[in-house]
Structure 1
Amino acid sequence: MSLSIILGTAWVLAATGVALLPLRRQYAPGLALLILAPMLILFIGYEHGVLPGLLALAAFVSMFRNPLRYLWGRATGRGRESAE
């Protein structure tokens, strides 16, 4: 197995572990996973091609859709209303 797939698997297991934590304890590790994900997705795409990279991106967006929606709303000036 390639290094990118091993790291991706570790990332998924870590994200699953963070999801099992109480909500107030999810912020710091969840933010770290959110920051690491784009680098990992690019690494997967670099080692395996565009299609696996796009599949990894789709999985990431699916897992983090609410935080990404909130951050997009903040970036575009809509604030909290766009996250609901």
Structure 2
Amino acid sequence: MSLIAAILWVLATTAVAMLPVERHFVPGRILLCIAPFLLVWMGFELGWMAVAFGLFAVGSMYRRPIKYYWTKWRQPTEGPQCPSR
């Protein structure tokens, strides 16, 4: 059953890729958030090799958003500044 869900996820991701650029954001983010749950489900049903291929597919299709969020999360956050004397 997880394989069918994965195939539907790939088809949905492909359909989102065919949308105009300004309409990618919301459905693309939803599909990216669903991907880890789908990979865990595939891991339980099909084993680690399916997860490896799934990770490769997600990384291939969402390489730019993953790179964006990775650099955003790695930047230090600015906390409250102490006044210098």
Deviation at 1:70, TM superposition (A): 0.3
Higher RCO structure (Cα 8 Å, ≥6 apart) = 2
Unaligned runs of 5+ in 2: 77-85
Structure 1 residue corresponding to 2:54, chosen from 50, 53, 56: 56
Deviation at 1:12, TM superposition (A): 0.4
In structure 2, distance between residues paired with 1:59 and 1:14: 13
In structure 2, distance between residues paired with 1:49 and 1:73: 31
In structure 2, distance between residues paired with 1:63 and 1:26: 13
In structure 1, the partner of 2:83 is none
**Which structure has the larger Rg over C-alpha atoms?**
2
Deviation at 1:4, TM superposition (A): 0.2
Deviation at 1:34, TM superposition (A): 0.5
Which residue identity lines up with residue 50 of structure 1 in the other structure? Answer: W
Deviation at 1:48, TM superposition (A): 0.6
TM-score, normalised by the number of residues in structure 2: 0.86
Number of residue pairs the alignment of both structures matches: 76
Percent identity among equivalent residues?
39
- Residue 44 of structure 1: SS of its match in structure 2? helix
Structure 2 residue corresponding to 1:17, chosen from 15, 18, 22: 15
Higher helix share: 1
Unaligned runs of 5+ in 1: 79-84
In structure 2, distance between residues paired with 1:52 and 1:9: 12
In structure 1, distance between residues paired with 2:58 and 2:43: 13
